[in-house]
Amino acid sequence: MATSLNQRENMLEYGVMGSMSSVPANYNHSMIVFYSPHGVNEAMREWGQSMRRAFNRTMEHRLNDITINYLGYYTDNGDYYYYHTETGMNYEETLVSVSRNISLPIQYIQIDSWWYYKGNRDGVKEWSPRLDIFPDGLPVVHRRMNNIPIVAHNRHWASDTVYSKTYAFVIDPLHGKSLPISNDSFWIDLLGEASRNWGLVLYEQDWLNLQTIEFTPTRTDIDLGQRWLTAMGKAAEQVGVNIQYCMSLPRHALQALEIPRVTQARVSVDYAIHLDERVPQW
């Protein structure tokens, strides 16, 4: 999470980012150069297999992930219910109606960024259901949907997040963002409550690129990025939920080699952007 890779013409640049404020004694990192005579696709597969072997990366959680193996329903950007409800219904009634009336064998439902409280720079102020969205609370909605498993979206943390009053957060006033320092029970409490009370099975960590690039501490503290993601992953393992990375950089995918609960990463733009701006989706 503290290194970067760049290619310019015939020059390959790799190493610790120059923005890091210090490099501790005995710090080390490694690089693998991989070649396959069987073409680009096979080279990627073989490289991935080599990396998984090097880190003893298990595929157990990925193979058993309900959100990979079964059909689900997303309310992401491009879906009809993205910041939009049925006429005369709130989100609570809309989701219950979707779960009961769609004649498809959906096994889980995703709730996107419309469901939680936002603060500075449109970041997450509180990752809990807004009362105007779910008046009866998300646990009640979950029960009304026959306890269908939930995938829940999250984005970057706002600098005015309520969690900084209780847990250790580093604040970046310049960019209006914050991040848990990950030396306390924050992730266990956050994911555990969601898993127990309203059926969270997959935590979708979106906006990873902005949380990393547009956040001074992750570009100056050599350990912060790794601590952030591994603490999230350890908590997910403890409470039994999986993680999806979204808008991730290659460094996030590589860090996931040490985080078995990361079972997937989304690699396409939002469907609505694909339609509205006529850009390739893949």
Residue-range domains of the chain with CATH: 64-276 (3.20.20.70)
Strands 3-8 and 169-172: unpaired
Question: What are the pLDDT digits (tens) for 169-210?
Answer: 999 999 999 999 988 899 999 999 999 999 999 999 999 999
Question: What are the pLDDT digits (tens) for 32-56?
Answer: 888 899 999 999 999 999 999 999 9
Q: How many CB atoms lie within 10 A of CB 20?
A: 15
Average model confidence (pLDDT) for the chain? 94
In 100-240, DSSP assigns E strands to 109-111, 116-118, 124-129, 150-154, 157-158, 169-172, 177-180, 200-205
C-alpha 70/C-alpha 139 separation (Å) is 23
SS3 209: helix
Strands 150-154 and 109-111: parallel
Q: What integer is the mean pLDDT of 106-132? A: 97
Query: Is residue 282 pLDDT above 70, yes or no?
Result: no
C-alpha 161/C-alpha 132 separation (Å) is 19
pTM of the full structure: 0.95
